[in-house]
Structure 1
Amino acid sequence: MAGIMRPMRLDPVSRRAIYFVTLREHGYTFAHVIRALESRGVHARHVPWDTVFASETLAHGTWVLSDFERLPPGALMAAGKVHRALKAAGCRVLNDPARWLPRADFLRNLQLAGVNSFGCWRPAAREWPDRWPVFLRRASGHTGSRTELLETPEAARAALTEALDEGLPLSDLLFVEYAGEPVPGQTYFRKHAAFRIGPEVSREVSVNDTTWLAKVGVSGLATDEDYAAERAEMDAYPHEDFVWKVFEIVGLEYGRVDFGTRAERFEVWEVNSNPTLYAPHEHRNADRAETIRLSFERLVTAFWGLARTPGEPVSIKECFRRYRSEETGMVALSNR
């Protein structure tokens, strides 16, 4: 990580405060929410993990810890100690790094719990798919699939060899069974999503796409009826119990779950501890525009309710002494 890592500034704060922690380069995820909270009188700040690890004292308030997918093991352990120090000092803290599950583990836990029907395999543990098709991806981060659907063992071996030849670590590669299906009666795919923000669950807008990855979306696929149904679910969300169950299994108090349908059942594709929170924007369909607005408004309102009046600064001096280096003050945090 380039540059000198500096400790957190402890400016006097009289307003209720909330701090969002990510890797430095991923702070954009909370940018719109931070501006909205500031406009409503909350002291809201992004605090990079390198700043946390360069500090001996942190501000008191509410802390939202995220980006665990990109933290190396030593830093993740130190983050768990920081979580406990903040809690012991009376701070409200969302997401415990010690209880977070990496991708292969949360997918397997969801399968064991009967939430998912599909499997995953870690080639580093000499695990090999026994159901097809599959795709190969990195276990960390959110870069999605690095292959098309692989239908045979030969295709899977070729994809794995190509990834290793590029220098990708075997320990970070994962085969995942395909669990997608087009919207019934259509040729496009739909990704559902919902947030957990502490004690609240909030529906997110759906993504409609021509490909099974359904990552960004393609305009013009959904109908006015689809948008009207989506808007109605903002008033009475029918999948709240399902979302709660997923977050309890994966051990997160803040994040977003992405899921789709296959054979008339839900399949969880992703659980992200640091999803990008988009500001409201215009849309040709009035129902969709209102869904977008409501989704963002409920996020901001939930975070506003979690912010706390600050107390005395919190010492974390003993949390990660052994993980610091004399030159940089901490272990490197690059795991993209």
Structure 2
Amino acid sequence: MAFLAELCPSKVLATIMIIFIGPNRQRHNLRGFKLFDDAPVTKHKTYNWLFRTHRLPAATYVFTFIDRLHPRERRLASKIYHHINAAGAGFKALNDPAKSKNRLDLLKSLHTAGINDFNAYRADEAPKPAKFPVFMRYLSVSLPPVTDLIHTQVELESAIDDLAQAGEPLDDLIVIEYCSEPIVQDYFAKVSAYRVDDQYFLDFFLFDRKWYVKLRDFDIMPPDFAATEAEILRENRWIDVLKNVFELADIQYGRADFSLVNNRPQIYEINFHPQSTLSQYESKIPERLEIANFVARRRMDAIIAIDQKISTKAIKNIVDPEITAFRLRPWRNFAPQRY
């Protein structure tokens, strides 16, 4: 298709590579990179590989899936993260697994910092939200809410009890104060902002007539909004707020999802391993396709910039008793089964 020529202006050969660390089932998140002839060499490796390998090739390592790791795995991964960053030229790691905040910690921190107007609570701590309605969703996985909007404290306590009786671990459920409104006409929107190391930029809007917005059809959008969206994306509107969000979360690679309420960004979560999807290139709306083209090119330019481009030898992995136990006693670890 014609727009691919704009996406791929020239071939650039990468001497090193970027290694994404995450579960096997998220390998497809890098699929969109193949549209670009100038994309750097990328590989997807699991935490099982990270803990078992004896040598680490020169690369930029992007740690993903952090919020779903066992604390023991986070500790080991963080040791390797620091080992990589101390290795010198040709080695770099993004997202310290020991520091990056999970969904609940992030939402509470954003509320305390005055960035978000809403708060969140753990369901097993007898929450008494400051305002209603609220809803509940999982802490450890990115799935739709497990409840509809809940309007009173009595309804909330009943819902928590019902979920506990159904076998749901309450320490994996969070109660979130509802904070959303249509962004234009009767369309709700999810806006996204990326951080790729020291680069920050907005991604395209997603729209729905429901308050919980997910990607269903890329071409759903309000009439006559394409020009406004393009202007917002090109000027990177609200990006200073989003820089503060990523700094607060201690995340160097990820996608923050937010919307506008009373003309202020309200941040809902940060995804550690955002998709580089192909679906937007199926758009039948020329203006929408142009927007997809623009944001995809900008993201790829940021990815190219974190490629080390310095030929150097591999380094030894860390020497650690827990790493040794992981390699020799598979029944005492999680990674081979989960990843």
TM-score class, shorter-chain normalisation, is 0.7 to 0.9
Give, in whole Å, the separation in 2 of the partners of 1:58 and 1:237. 36
Distance 2:45 2:168 in 1: 29
Q: Which residue of 2 aligns with 1:77?
A: 75
| Shift in alpha-carbon separation, 1:315–1:156, aligned structure 2, 3 A | same
Measured in 1, the distance between the counterparts of 2:221 and 2:307 equals 37
> What is the alpha-carbon distance in structure 2 between the residues aligned to residue 234 and residue 125 of structure 1?
40
Deviation at 1:310, TM superposition (A): 4.0
Q: Which amino acid in 2 is paired with 1:327?
A: R
- 2:219 and 2:284 in contact (8 A); partners too: no
Paired residue type of 1:153: Q
1:290-315: per-residue Cα shift (whole Å, max 9, x none)? 11112111221111121122422122
Which residue number corresponds to residue 173 of structure 2? 173
CA deviation after TM superposition for structure 1 residue 103, in Å: 1.2
Deviations 1:197-217 (A, max 9, x none): 111112111110111111124
Closer, same or farther in 2 for the Cα pair 1:335/1:266, shift >3 Å?
Answer: farther
Structure 1 residues 330 and 290, CA, compared in 2 at 3 Å: closer, same or farther? farther
Matched with 2:330 is 328
Deviations 1:84-111 (A, max 9, x none): 1111112111111122011111111111
Q: Quick one: distance in 2 between partners of 1:318 and 1:59?
A: 16
- The superposition leaves residues 113-165 of structure 1 with CA deviations (integer Å, 9 ceiling, x where unpaired) of 11101011113233332321100111112113111101122322232233223
Identify the residue that residue 188 of structure 1 maps to in structure 2.
187
Residue of structure 2 in register with 1:16 after alignment: 16
| Alpha carbons of structure 1 residues 181 and 284: separation in structure 2 relative to 1, 3 Å | same
User: How many Å apart are 1:196 and its aligned residue?
Assistant: 0.7
Correspondence list, 1:126-275, <5 A: 126-184=126-184, 186-217=185-216, 221-275=220-274
Cα distance in structure 2, aligned partners of 1:110 and 1:193: 16
How far apart, in 1, do the equivalents of 2:179 and 2:270 lie? 15
Distance 2:296 2:39 in 1: 17
Q: CA deviation at 1:74?
A: 0.8
Cα deviation code 1:168-222 (max 9, x no counterpart): 22211110000011124x2221111111111111211111011111112456652
Gaps of 5+ in 1: 1-12
Aligned residues: 321
Q: Which amino acid aligns with 2:66?
A: F
Query: Using the alignment, how far apart are the partners of 2:316 and 2:136 within structure 1?
Result: 43
Letter in 1 for 2:207: N
- Report what 2:314 is aligned to: 313
Q: Distance in 1 between matches of 2:236 and 2:249?
A: 21
Q: Which residue of 2 aligns with 1:277?
A: 276
CA distance 1:251–1:14, change in 2 (3 Å): closer
- Distance in 1, Cα, partners of 2:291 & 2:239: 17
Q: Is 2:106 the partner of 1:89?
A: no
Task: Flag the 1:210–1:224 CA change in 2: closer, same or farther, 3 A.
Answer: closer
CA–CA distance in 1 between the matches of 2:315 and 2:218? 48
CA distance in 1, matches of 2:275, 2:331: 29
Structure 2 residue runs without a partner (length 5+): 1-12
Higher alpha-carbon deviation: 283-292 or 323-332: 323-332
**Residues 330 and 304 (structure 1), Cα distance of their counterparts in 2 relative to 1, 3 Å cut:** farther
Residue 3 of structure 2 corresponds to which residue in structure 1?
Answer: none
**Contact kept? 1:103, 1:139, Cα under 8 Å:** yes
Matches of 2:222 and 2:129, distance apart in 1? 37
In structure 2, the CA distance between the partners of 1:323 and 1:190, relative to structure 1 (3 Å rule), is farther
Question: Could you say which residue in structure 1 is the equivalent of 2:38?
Answer: 40
- Aligned partners of 1:85 and 1:314 also within 8 Å: no
The Cα offsets for residues 33-59 of structure 1, whole Å up to 9 and x where unpaired, read as: 2x346x426321111121112222221
Q: Is the 1:137–1:174 contact (alpha carbons within 8 Å) kept by the matching residues of 2? A: yes
Contact between 1:24 and 1:49, CA under 8 Å: does it hold in 2? Answer: no
- For residues 222 and 162 of structure 1, the distance between their equivalents in structure 2, rounded to whole angstroms, comes to 37
Deviation larger for 271-280 or 215-224? 215-224
The answer as to whether partners of 1:107 and 1:119 remain within 8 angstroms in 2 is: yes
Structure 1 residues 292, 174: CA separation in 2 closer, same or farther (over 3 Å shift)?
A: same
Once residues 100 and 157 of structure 1 are traced to their aligned partners in structure 2, the CA distance between those partners, rounded to angstroms, is 31
Asked if the contact 1:42–1:304 (Cα under 8 Å) also holds between the matched residues in 2, the reply is yes
Q: After superposition, where does 1:110-121 map in structure 2 within 5 Å?
A: 110-121=110-121
- Partners in 1 of 2:277 and 2:229 — Cα distance? 17
